[in-house]
Chains A and B, each alone.
Chain A
Amino acid sequence: MKPTDSEVTNALEVENLSVHFGALEVFRGLSFTVPRGSSLAVIGPNGSGKTVLFKALIGSIPSKGRIRWAPGVRLGYVPQKLDIERDLPVSGRDLLRAKAAVSKSSNEALMTALEQVEFDELTLSVPIGAMSGGQFQRLLLAFALIGEPNVLLLDEPAAGIDEPGQEKLNTMIQRLQEEKGVTVLLISHDLSVVYRYATAVLCLSRTHTWYGAPQTVLNPEMLQQLYGAPTHFHIHDGP
């Protein structure tokens, strides 16, 4: 079967997507498309279902509606905080080598990914549970980049990374988009980043969803409704 035109231009098409946990409805009737090479930012207050949406998109939780990834899509996923036991005898090298083996990538691809996220090679032998938040986050990014993904799903990738590191991270993601045409889906609380880098914004709240270009969606009234409080750009979660 030949792919239709929309499949060629869109990396992802979502129609009428709903997720329920028992009686609890997380969201309902979500529809949006993500053109190839574009970047979609997903924003919303805590508990609005951003991470749940990502999990539904990758198929790790059941959902209703239609999720259609374009043929040939290779996903790279950077999850939000992972709970890793401190004394787990798995080093950074073990994890990256495992990904390289599973995705049939070379050792060179592994080294390239390390360079891209500026991960110090010496830190590779540290057990992953003993890494700092920022180190582990970079490792997960490198993990996602091995195997030449053409779609990146990033769930708050800057969390735990220092300011200069965040800036570099944004630059790196932009470069991947420009050079390799990578499509990016990004959950972020940093509205200034969203405003600067995203092609489209999906705002989730418990009652409403908004979807559109950042310039039209990110206005004071919408943000007031979304977060239930007056908002300035640069929104950060509480501790």
Chain B
Amino acid sequence: MGLEASSLILSVAMAVAAGLVGCFAVMRRLTLAADAISHVALPGIGLALVLRMQPMAGALAMLLIGTTLIWALESHTKMPTETIVGVVFSVALAIGSMTTSGEQLVEALFGGAGNLTNSEFALGLVGAAAVIAFILKARNSLIVALVSPEIALTSGINVSRLNLVYLLTFAMTVALGLRYLGVLLMGSLIIIPAATAKRLARDLNGMLVISVIVAVASTLLGTYAAGRFHGETGPFIITVAGGLFLLSLLA
């Protein structure tokens, strides 16, 4: 399989995962928090570069640690997720920009295609499949917990664990998209398609389907446009997604 084909397949898998995960972030009003979580990847990338490790491995490790930290702070202090993410995110960005510099920083922030190794491709596909499988399997529990944590508890759902696994899934999705969109823009590919779907859908299935379509369409069109105009993929993908969101306002 050619490099371009595998890169395209991986980007579509990433977009499907982003579209699904985003639906619950938008419905739970975690949009700002969700966007900010992705920035936690930055110090991970920086540290990995300092230690001469794979930047993506560093990003994923930092995302998982940051997310668990956010979850633990939230369950112990009962502060709103938004506040906690705000604090963790700013600190992460500060540490991240100290440890990353110049071109690497730009690439980490906006994404840079680079070369896709076979192992990266395989790991990416496995990660995307895990995210998609979790959302489809946990969608019922997620919906009940979203409507009321209390009725979720009495329905036998472990709400605290569900929240943790959801946040970790979110972090995983961010890591999947970093090479295409970078730290600054990946959160947007999770949020914008879901926000578009929320405007158009009347039930859960509708929302999931529309969100996935918008995420995949933005990724494919954005990647094509970036190729034509010789630009980075991330900004093109998000511009297309933003355009589709604006169109949904007319509906």
Contact = CB atoms under 8 A, between A and B. Distances in A.
Interface of A: 55, 58-60, 75-77, 79, 82, 84-85, 87-91, 93-95, 97-99, 101-103, 125, 127-128, 140, 143-144, 147, 153
Contacts of A144: 151, 154
Given A60-B150, A102-B155, A128-B147, 4 more contacts: A55-B150, A58-B153, A90-B203, A125-B203
Contact of B150 (A58, A93, A98, A99): A58
Interface string B80-102: 00000000000000000000000
B153 A95 contact: no
B144 A89 contact: no
> Which of A82, A88, A101, A140 has the most chain B CB atoms inside 10 A of its CB?
A88
Given A102-B140, A147-B155, A87 B198 contact: yes
A152 to B, nearest CB: 10
Contacts of A98: 139-141, 143-144
A128 B202 CA distance: 10
A84 B27 CA distance: 10
B203 A103 contact: no
B137 to A, nearest CB: 10
Contacts of A60: 149-150, 153
Q: Which among A77, A97, A98 has the highest number of chain B CB atoms within 10 Å?
A: A98
Contact of B203 (A89, A99, A140): A89
Nearest to A55: B150
A135 B203 CA distance: 17
A2 to B, nearest CB: 24
Contacts of A103: 155-156
Contact of A79 (B148, B156, B197, B205): B148
B144 A99 contact: yes
Contact of A91 (B150, B198, B204): B204
B154 A94 contact: no
B202 A125 contact: yes
B243 interface: no
A145 B202 CA distance: 25
B155 A93 contact: no
A58 B155 contact: no
Given A77-B151, A82-B148, A88 B140 contact: no
Interface residues of B, number: 28
20 contacts: A59-B153, A60-B149, A76-B154, A77-B153, A77-B154, A79-B150, A82-B147, A87-B199, A89-B198, A89-B203, A90-B204, A91-B202, A98-B141, A98-B144, A102-B140, A103-B155, A125-B202, A128-B147, A140-B151, A143-B151
Contact of A89 (B151, B157, B206): B206
Contacts of B155: 99, 102-103, 147
Contacts of A143: 151
B207 interface: yes
Residue of B201, B202, B206 with most chain A CB atoms under a 10 A cut-off: B202
B202 A75 contact: no
Given A102-B155, A102-B157, A147-B155, A89 B150 contact: no
A70 B156 CA distance: 16
Given A84-B147, A94-B143, A98-B140, A89 B197 contact: yes
Contacts of A97: 140
A99 B27 CA distance: 18
